[in-house]
Amino acid sequence: MDACFRNRRKRYYIEDLLEAVNDVLYDYNGTSIELRQLYKDIRDMEREAVNGGADVEIRRIQDGKRKYIQYSDPNYTMFEPAISQEEAQLLSDTIQLLSRFKGFPQFDWLDETLARLRQTFQLDDEVAGSVSFQQNPYLRGLKWFGQLFDAVVKKEVLDVTYHHFGKKPRVRQVHPYQLRQSGNRWYLVGYEERLAERHKLVMLPIDRMDDVRCKRDDVRCKFIEKPADLDIDDYFYDIVGVSLNPESEPEKIVLKVGYPDAEYLNSKPIHGSQHLIERNDEGMTFELKLIPNEEFMQQLLTYAHNAEVVKPQSLRKAVFERAEAIKSHNQP
C-alpha cells in the first residue's frame, strides 16, 4: 500500500489497490484480504502518519465518479525505502531498454528477471511500450546472438563459418570485440589475423553466419586483445554504417537540398559531421566530411529527387549513374 500511494505513474482506485495488495499477499503466504480490511488498514496508516508527526496525508482524489488514492507527498514512505522514487524511475527506464533483448536466443531469462524486478520494486507495467526500438526479429542469424555476446564478454576466440553471397562457406577465426547494430542489422566486430595487414577490424553480419564455434578449449588459440588506443566508435566515425575501406580518406561533400526535404535532412542529419552552411528561399546547403560508402549512398538517394550534389564530382557522377540505372529498370 505504501508503494502504491507513492506511485505517480498509476492511479490506484480502491479496487486496483485491493488487487495489488492481494497479489503481494498471495505470493508471500497464499492469503488475501477483503475490502473492509483494506479500508481499516488505510485508516490505520493515516493514524500512524499523524502520530508519527509526518506532514503528509493520504488523499482521495475525485476522478469522475471514482476516487484514486495517493500520498500528498510522493517522496514520503512509512518505511526505509529500498530505492528512492527517482531511482525507481531510472530502474523502470532501464528495464525498458533491457526489454529490447526479449526474444533473442539465450536471452529468455530476461522475461522472468524483468518481471521480478517490476514486482520487487513495485514498478508500473503500464509504461511498457512507451519507448519502441527498431528491431528485426526475423533477421537470419539471430540464433547466434547469445553465443556471440558471451564470446565478446568472456574474450573467447571463435571459428565462424561464414558465406559471401554466391560463394562457398569458409571458416574464419575471429577475436570478437563488439556486437554492433547498423541499418536494422547486427554485425560482429573483431580482429582477424589473416586480414590484419589491411584491416584493423573486421565486420561480419550475423545473418551470413552458418555456424559459430568457441575455441575456449584450444590452448593454441590465445585471445588477442583490442589495442588500447583503438576506439571502435572512433574507427567508424568517418562513415555511415559499417562498410569501411581502410585505404579511403574522408571527403568534403556539399549538398544543395530543396524544401521540404531540406527541413527533414536538417532535423535528421545523415552523419555527425553534417552542418548547415546556407539557407535561402529555395532550400538549404549542407556540408559533410566522410568516406562515401554504400550505406551513405542509400541514404543520399532518399533525397536525390530534390537534391544536387555540388561536390565532389565523383559522387555527383555516382548518383547520376545510379539514377540512370533506376530509370532503365522502371520505365513505364
CATH of the domain at 260: 3.30.70
- Regarding whether 178 and 126 lie in a shared domain, the answer is no
- Regarding whether 100 and 56 lie in a shared domain, the answer is no
- Regarding whether 229 and 160 lie in a shared domain, the answer is yes
- Regarding whether 303 and 270 lie in a shared domain, the answer is yes
- Regarding whether 156 and 114 lie in a shared domain, the answer is no
197 lies in some domain: yes
Region 67-88 average pLDDT? 73
DSSP string computed for 119-165: HHTT--GGGTTSS-----TT-TTGGGHHHHHHHHHHT--EEEEE--T
Nearest to 104 by CA among 138, 63, 66: 138
The whole-angstrom separation of Cα 178 and Cα 281 is 45
Evaluate if residue 105 carries a pLDDT over 60: no
CA distances from 282 to 262, 269, 300 (A): 9, 19, 19
The whole-angstrom separation of Cα 74 and Cα 62 is 18
Picking from 186, 206, 235, the residue at the C-terminal end of a domain is: 235
pLDDT at 251: 95
- Regarding whether 279 and 204 lie in a shared domain, the answer is no
What does the pLDDT look like over 228-259, one tens digit per residue?
999 999 999 999 999 888 889 999 999 999 99
Region 191-205 average pLDDT? 92
- Regarding whether 62 and 20 lie in a shared domain, the answer is yes
Picking from 92, 116, 133, the residue at the C-terminal end of a domain is: 133
- Regarding whether 265 and 225 lie in a shared domain, the answer is no
Evaluate if residue 106 carries a pLDDT over 60: no
pLDDT at 190: 95
- Regarding whether 160 and 205 lie in a shared domain, the answer is yes
- Cell numbers representing residue 255 in the block: 549538398
243 lies in some domain: no
Q: Amino acid letter at 209? A: M
5 lies in some domain: yes
- Regarding whether 325 and 271 lie in a shared domain, the answer is yes
φ, ψ for residue 269, nearest 5 deg = -60, 145
DSSP string computed for 184-225: TEEEEEEE-GGGTTT-SSEEEEGGGEEEEEE-TT-TT----P
Region 126-145 average pLDDT? 65
114 lies in some domain: yes
Confidence of residue 6 (pLDDT cuts 50, 70, 90): confident
272 lies in some domain: yes
The whole-angstrom separation of Cα 161 and Cα 163 is 7
- Regarding whether 146 and 114 lie in a shared domain, the answer is no
Nearest to 276 by CA among 268, 291, 266: 266
Evaluate if residue 96 carries a pLDDT over 90: no
pLDDT at 226: 93
CA distances from 66 to 40, 70, 221 (A): 19, 14, 68
190 lies in some domain: yes
Burial of 254 (C-beta count, 10 Å sphere; 0-12/13-18/19+): middle
State the residue for C-alpha cell 502520530.
51
3 lies in some domain: yes
The whole-angstrom separation of Cα 45 and Cα 313 is 76
- Regarding whether 122 and 89 lie in a shared domain, the answer is yes
φ, ψ for residue 77, nearest 5 deg = -150, 145
152 contacts 145 by C-beta, under 8 angstroms: no
What does the pLDDT look like over 32-52, one tens digit per residue?
899 999 999 888 888 877 776
- Cell numbers representing residue 22 in the block: 492481494
176 lies in some domain: yes
Counting the structural domains of the chain, the total is: 4
Picking from 111, 133, 155, the residue at the C-terminal end of a domain is: 133
Domain residue limits at 19: 1-81
